[in-house]
Amino acid sequence: MKVKHLLPLFLLLPLACRQEKPAYIVPVKSAGTLKQIMQDGDISAKIDLDTLAGRPQLYGIGAAEDLQGEIMIWQGKAFLTTVAGSGLATYDGFRKRASLLVYSEVSVWDSLPLPPEINQLDQLEAFLVQTAEELGLDASHPFPFLLKGRPEMVSWHVIDWDVEDPVHTHSKHQQSGMRSGWKNTPTEVIGFYSPTPGVFTHHDSRIHLHATTPDRRLVAHLDQVTGISGMHLYLPAMEGLAQ
């Protein structure tokens, strides 16, 4: 993964005013939708992950078939974390199928630190869109992003859905399976932004995030994170997009 480190936005703004960049679209693909899951109760497999193997710049997140675990693809390597008894187990995700998956190929990322005023998850979305647009991304289309750093607190869950339960709600999804978190721990996050909620984000949000640690001992759906100022935000650079 190649990364270009950028100056903070307040230093970039004068340059943006003098030279407007043409907006570019990041190719993002998805299989299955949260609307199908939440409204129709359809948790069947929509994609075999092994069809995506061999793409070294692939990034993605999703839920396993029948909502039996959380999926992350980071730089071409797939991970699936499932509930196993009273604990968790992490496997090679390419051996599984997904009921929901969103993914994109990016080889070069622009990076900049989150400013002090962006310190928790509910402040991130607006800043994300503003920053993307300043860098020339077309925010009327979906795009992936990464976060890296040491936040104060991370809360997550790994879903383990009762396949006999046909009624899906956001709160039931959060409660199903295992919930936990960590504090002051190196954390890496893959997120996807969508201008249209309900496709691969919930109806009340335009971002969907999965969290992991650098050792990939688990991947999980990110529910909440605080103390994120100083973490680095990564956005796709135009020259790093797969054609």
pLDDT tens string 114-123: 999 999 888 9
Q: What is the pLDDT of residue 21?
A: 58
Taking each helix axis from N to C end, the angle separating 9-18 and 124-134, rounded to the nearest 10 degrees, works out to: 40
| Domains, in order of start, for the chain | 25-240 (3.30.1330.80)
% of the chain with per-residue pLDDT over 70: 91
Dist CA 17 CA 19 (whole Å): 6
- 129-184 pLDDT per residue, tens: 999 999 999 999 999 999 999 999 999 999 999 888 888 887 888 788 899 999 99
- pLDDT computed for residue 15 by the predictor: 42
Report pLDDT digits (tens) over 202-238: 777 899 999 999 999 999 999 999 999 989 999 999 7
Alpha helices per DSSP H over the chain: 9-18, 34-40, 124-134, 170-175
C-alpha triplet 36, 59, 123: angle, nearest 5°: 75
Residue 204 has a pLDDT of 77
Q: What average pLDDT does the segment 90-101 reach?
A: 94
Return the pLDDT at 6.
66
> Per-residue pLDDT averaged across 105-109, rounded?
95
pLDDT value, residue 19 = 47
The answer on pLDDT for 13 being more than 70 is no
pLDDT at residue 17 is higher than 90: no
pLDDT at 240: 59
* Mean of per-residue pLDDT scores for the chain: 89
Torsions phi, psi for 232 (to 5 deg): -100, 135
* Average pLDDT value for residue range 38-61: 95
The DSSP secondary structure of 90-133, one letter per residue, reads EEEGGGSEEEEEEEEEBSEEEEEEPPTT--BGGGHHHHHHHHHH
**One-letter amino acid of 241:** L
d(CA 179, CA 160): 11
DSSP 240: G
Residue 12 binned pLDDT confidence (cut-offs 50, 70, 90): low
Tell me the mean pLDDT in the region 101-117: 95
Flag whether pLDDT at 18 surpasses 50: no
Here the tokens at position 144 are 């992936």
